[in-house]
Amino acid sequence: MSFILRMSGVIVGRSELETRDATRSIAHGAFRPGLGYELAEPVFMLFDQAAGDPDALARYRKARDALRLELQDSSGSSVAVRDLHIRRDSEVARGASALTLEIETDDPLIWTATKPRSAG
């Protein structure tokens, strides 16, 4: 199932959230940017730059929260999210421009949604 990240109705991007760990309440997956990503990208770059600095992390969270992002499932239902990050993927094999969406949530929509099938 595809999940859509929106900002004021504009699609920021999509992810299948392929990896889901219900015990940790964390889901993440490849992020495919939409037209609105260029507006949000500078905020998410702050997260990478924060590198454990509590003041920088607080500035990042404030800026991210100001974006008023909304995650929706493919039917348009909102997913309640406690935390959300978009970061550059550290896996070299996926390419330097690969992005990952990571969320923290207890919303059952994530845990009951169908995961995409792997090619094989």
Residue 117 is assigned to a structural domain of this protein: no
Is there a domain that residue 120 lies in?
no
Per the listing, tokens 């406690």 go with 82
Mean pLDDT in residue range 85-114: 79
In a domain, 98, yes or no: yes
Residues 6+ positions from 31 with CB-CB distance below 8 Å: 5, 13, 14, 15, 86, 99, 100, 101
Asked whether the whole model's pTM tops 0.75, one would answer yes
* pLDDT for 50 beyond 50: yes
- What average pLDDT does this structure show over 13-35? 95
> Residue 101: inside a domain, yes or no?
yes
Identify whether 119 is part of a domain: no
User: Does position 11 have pLDDT exceeding 60, yes or no?
Assistant: yes
Segments forming the whole domain that contains residue 99:
3-112
**Rounded Cα–Cα distance for residues 80 and 66 (Å):** 16
Mean pLDDT calculated for residue range 8-16: 95
Q: How confident is the model at residue 116 (pLDDT cuts 50, 70, 90)?
A: low
Indicate the number of domains in the chain: 1
